[in-house]
Amino acid sequence: MLSRLSVRQILLAVSLGCVGLLAFGLYLQHVVGLVPCPMCIVQRYALILIAIVAALAGATGQKSLQFTGAVLLVPIAGFGAFVAARQSWLQWYPPEVVSCGRDFYGMIETFPLKRALPMIFRGGGDCTQVDWTFLGGSIANWSFVCFSVIALLMLSLLWFRSSRP
């Protein structure tokens, strides 16, 4: 199936998929009432970055820029998968001493941005809590799957496109 789609179509589909995942996350936050933890926010940033890079690379007709975009998407998706895997690990094996730090918005309101950003990337607070599941997997589990699929899709795209004469 990958060979029937153009690189442009694949990149735009990845971008639209990320926008859909972000919209679902906002639905869970604003309609269902789930409060995102700092690790969830970092994963959202990774999805936003993937959506932007994939859209820009897909919007161009130049093969070299599409190839560069696909190359950039691999480490971004890998980073997102790493954060999601770490959160999944914390959910499966919560630490014995739970340090419930502030949520993302509390950090931003209380601390200057210079101090709040490092706190966000530490992933304190309720990152170990599982508030929602689908088919037995938490949001972090499904996020890991999505980031991994994006990374593998880009790697296979790069491999198939580079192996063509």
Instruction: Specify whether the CB–CB gap between 124 and 101 falls below 8 A.
Output: yes
User: Any idea what DSSP says for residue 136?
Assistant: T
Residues 85 and 148: beta-carbon distance below 8 Å: no
Which whole number is the average pLDDT over 132-155?
84
State mean pLDDT over 91-97: 67
* pLDDT number for residue 42: 83
Please indicate whether residue 87 or residue 141 has the higher confidence score (pLDDT): 141
**pLDDT (tens digit per residue) in 32-90:** 777 777 778 888 889 999 999 999 888 887 777 878 888 889 999 999 999 888 878 77
pLDDT, tens only, 6-34: 878 888 999 999 999 888 888 877 787 77
Beta carbons of 77 and 146 less than 8 angstroms apart: no
Residue 1 has pLDDT above 60, yes or no: no
Distance (Å, whole) CA 63 – CA 28 = 37
Instruction: Report residue 15 as tokens.
Output: 């971008």
pLDDT of 117 reads 57
Residue with the two structure tokens 């499966």: 92
Average pLDDT over residues 131-151: 82
What pLDDT does residue 138 have? 78
Domain 7-158 class in CATH: mainly alpha
CA distance 69 to 47: 14
All residues at 6 or more sequence positions from 91 whose CB lies less than 8 Å from its CB, including other chains: 127, 128, 129, 130, 138, 140
* Dist. CA 153–CA 75, nearest whole Å: 12
Least confident of 46-55, 86-95, 118-127: 118-127
Mean pLDDT of 121-145: 69
The pTM of this model reads 0.73
Could you give the CA distance from residue 40 to residue 24 in angstroms, rounded to a whole number?
A: 13
